[in-house]
Amino acid sequence: MSSVILASASTDLARRVRLASGDNLFVLTPEQVPTGPAQLLGLSNGTGPVQAVMLDVTGDGSQDSSLGLAERFKEQFPHVAVLLVTDKPAELGLPALRAGVRDLIEPELPINELRWVIRRAIETSAAGMGGSAANDPDPVGRVITVASPKGGVGKTTLATNLAVGLAHQSPQGTVLVDLDIQFGDVAAALDLDPAYTLADVVHGSGLRDVTALKTLLTKHRTGLHVLSGVKSPVEADDITAQHVATIIGLLKSEFRYVVIDTAPGMGSHTLAALDHTTDLVLVASLDVPSVRGLRKELQLLDELELPPATRHIAVNMVDRSGGLSLADVEATIERKVDFAIPRSPKVIASTNRGRPLLEDQARDKISRDLEQLVGRFSPIAVRKSTLSWTSRHRGAAS
Ligand SMILES: Nc1ncnc2c1ncn2[C@@H]1O[C@H](COP(=O)(O)OP(=O)(O)O)[C@@H](O)[C@H]1O
Ligand SMILES: [Mg+2]
């Protein structure tokens, strides 16, 4: 049986962690925490092998000793996931990740999100991923750019669903950037009213370091962080490709998943993002102009000397009405289609409501098709057990 150790003086947090972790929980106060990992693990003897240690540093001065302890865990017991509970995530983010902390948890995090964070931390640590930016075999985040030659094919739909789907796996480790800088509609698609946008980032201190940048992100109700496009198209002129490169570079040092929505075509902002992109999702709809555009874009990408990124082809709005088939698309682009997403009125309704379909983790066909996309990037997204686990607990959790 697995177990979790929580060092906190808060009985409320202990109650929520107990409900969230579901396994054996051993609670002690921060003063009782020994300096060595072995002693700490020894204290909980009898509750089964410890998989996660949560150190609550909210509102007290124990953060240095806790980071020191996390560091020793990283060296001596890398399979144990260390999590930090803090009300200052922006301040502690970087030192914590360097110390090998798997994730930061806000003290008020609801039970269902706590469950995700703990589970995710345990899975990645147990899988030998170490779970931190410092000892992850893939030390920086995965940068997933969603692009297409044409507008209206579903880039924003796929980017928002992908980001929300990944945020369910890694609530504090996913950021969505709206690089359709002039006419972006990510905020609307997520029903957000951002206090800050890209314009504030380039005019303020957001380019200086990731901590400053994080304070300009908007938090979505799923835990997803969002960097919005500008509010008025004229502001877009101030944002250069160099700004974009700096921003993506900072975000990928901090977030496990950076999802980027783009404007149609290969503008300078998109090209700057491609320099950091690990995965490029190319979207076309099932009509001749869009598929031809996709073929040209693939040719262009071959000609440009960009860093290698894995390409994923998504054909959206698939239906039989236009007489074009997926086989026709594959023949035109001379490669296979990775994802086919049907045309569905549920998608339009979700756009209009500002609530991506994957936010609700429904089990209908269109949600499952969108989930395939998430599964490509997240090791635990499409495992059946995980999904049923999630849906089983969702209603009861909060
Ligand atoms: N699979 C789909 N079925 C039906 N409508 C879709 C589908 N995908 C996207 N749409 C709708 O098409 C419109 C354009 O999608 P959007 O994601 O904004 O495209 P883009 O970002 O490429 O311009 C939106 O109203 C969206 O709801
Ligand atoms: Mg769009």
Read off the pLDDT of residues 212-229 as tens digits, 9 standing for 90 and up: 999 999 999 999 999 999
The pLDDT of residue 46: 65
CA of 326 relative to ligand 1 center, distance in Å: 18
Instruction: For CATH 3.40.50.2300, list the domain ranges present in the chain.
Output: 3-129
Q: What is the mean pLDDT of the chain?
A: 86
> Which residues form ligand 1's pocket by a CB distance below 6 Å?
148, 151-157, 316-317, 341, 343-344, 347-348, 351
What is the Cα–Cα distance from 199 to 220, expressed in whole angstroms? Answer: 19
Residues of the chain with CATH 3.40.50.300: 142-392
Give the Cα separation of 178 and 176 in Å (integer). Answer: 7
Predicted pLDDT of residue 1? 44
Confidence of residue 394 (pLDDT cuts 50, 70, 90): very low
Nearest atom in ligand 1 to the alpha carbon of residue 351 is 27
Question: Which top CATH class is 3-129?
Answer: alpha beta
Fold of 142-392: Rossmann fold (3.40.50)
What percent of the chain is predicted at pLDDT more than 90? 58
Q: Name which residue sits closest to atom 8 of ligand 1, judged by CA.
A: 154
pLDDT surpassing 90 at residue 328: yes
Nearest to residue 273, comparing CAs of 262, 282, 264, 265?
262
The pLDDT assigned to 90 comes to: 75
For the ranges 11-15, 122-126, 218-222, the lowest mean pLDDT is seen at: 122-126
Give 385 Cα–ligand 1 centroid separation in angstroms.
Answer: 30
Banded pLDDT at 79 (limits 50, 70, 90): confident
Residue 118 CA, chain-centre distance (Å), reads: 15
The pLDDT value given to residue 393:
31
Query: pLDDT tens digits, residue range 48-57?
Result: 688 899 999 9
Neighbours of 360 (CB within 10 A): 14
CB 100 within 8 A of CB 73: yes
Q: Which of 321, 351, 357 to mutate to test the pocket of ligand 1 (most atoms within 8 A of CB)?
A: 351
Look up residue 80 and give its two tokens: 């144990």
Considering just the CA atoms, what is the radius of gyration of the chain in Å? 22
